[in-house]
Amino acid sequence: MLRTFRHTLKDQTPLYVFVTVLFLMGVVFGALMVNALTLEQQQDLSRYLGDFFTTFNQDSSGSSGLSSFWSIAILNLKWLGLIWILGLSVIGLPGILILDFLKGVLIGFSVGCLVGQFTWKGMLFALVSVAPHNLVLIPVLLVCSVAAVTFSLNIIRSRVLLKGHSSLSKPFLNYTGLVLGLSLLIIGISSFETWVTPVLMGWVAPVLEQASAAASL
C-alpha cells in the first residue's frame, strides 16, 4: 500500500506543482490588485478595517462560538464539495483550476490590504489571522484539486480518447473516500479558526486599532 501511494504521488507530482504555481499566481495577482484601488476605495477600506478592529476589541465573544464554527465549516466544506463536483465531469476541469486561482487571489488581496494599510503591523496581523489555518486548509484544497483533476483526466482517457468501457467505480470510490477524509480535516481546521484564531487576533488587534485611530487623525 505504501509503495502504491509513493507511485501515485510520483505520478501526480507535475499536477501538484501545476496547481501550487497556479495558486501562488493567484496570491500575487490578489496582492497586486490592492495597488489598483482608487484613493477613495483605499479610504473606505481603511475605515472598514478601523471599524472592524474597534468592534473586535469590544466584542466579548463566546456565545456565538458554535454558530461561527458552523458558518466557517460549511463555507470550507462548500468549497471542497464544489471541487469534488467539478471533478466528476470533463467540463468541470477548468473550474477546478479557476477555484485554485481565486483562492490565491482572496488570500493575496486580504494580506495585501493589511500590509498596505498597516505595513509591518498588518503583516503581523496577517500572520496570526490568515496564515495559521490556511497553512493546513490550502494543502487540503490543493490535494482535493489534484484528485479532482486526476479523476477528470481518467474520464477523458476512458470515455473520450480511448472510447472504452473500463469501470470508473474504483477510481470514483477512491476519489470520494479521499474527499470525505479531507472533510474531516476541514472540520478540525474550522475548529481552530473558530476558537484559536480569534485569540491570536486579540493579541494583535489593539495595536492595529491604535494605528488606525492615529491614521484617521
Residue 213: pLDDT over 60: no
Report the distance separating Cα 110 and Cα 90, nearest Å.
32
Average pLDDT over residues 90-111: 94
Per-residue confidence (pLDDT) for residue 24, from 0 to 100: 97
Per-residue confidence (pLDDT) for residue 206, from 0 to 100: 75
Q: Pick 210 or 123 by higher pLDDT.
A: 123
The DSSP secondary-structure symbol of 37 reads S
Which of 12, 164, 22, 159 minimizes the C-alpha distance to 88?
Answer: 159
Per-residue confidence (pLDDT) for residue 60, from 0 to 100: 47
Angle made by CA atoms 69, 192, 78, in degrees to the nearest 5: 50
Per-residue confidence (pLDDT) for residue 4, from 0 to 100: 44
Per-residue confidence (pLDDT) for residue 212, from 0 to 100: 58
Copy the grid coordinates of residue 5: 501511494
Per-residue confidence (pLDDT) for residue 158, from 0 to 100: 77
Residue 63: pLDDT over 50: no
Copy the grid coordinates of residue 203: 493579541
Phi, psi of 151 (to 5 degrees): -65, -40
Residue 27: pLDDT over 90: yes
Per-residue confidence (pLDDT) for residue 30, from 0 to 100: 95
Per-residue confidence (pLDDT) for residue 1, from 0 to 100: 39
Per-residue confidence (pLDDT) for residue 20, from 0 to 100: 95
> Residue 26's pLDDT band (boundaries 50, 70, 90)?
very high
122-136 burial string, b = 16+ CB within 10 Å, else e?
bebbbebbbebbbee
Average pLDDT, the chain: 84
Stated pTM of the model? 0.86
The DSSP secondary-structure symbol of 59 reads -
Per-residue confidence (pLDDT) for residue 133, from 0 to 100: 92
User: Tens digit of pLDDT for each residue in 160-202?
Assistant: 665 556 677 888 999 999 999 999 999 999 999 999 988 888 8
20 Cβ contact partners less than 8 Å away, ≥ 6 residues apart: 142
What domain range is 160 assigned to? 2-216
User: Tens digit of pLDDT for each residue in 129-161?
Assistant: 899 999 999 999 999 999 999 999 888 887 666
Give the total number of structural domains in the chain: 1
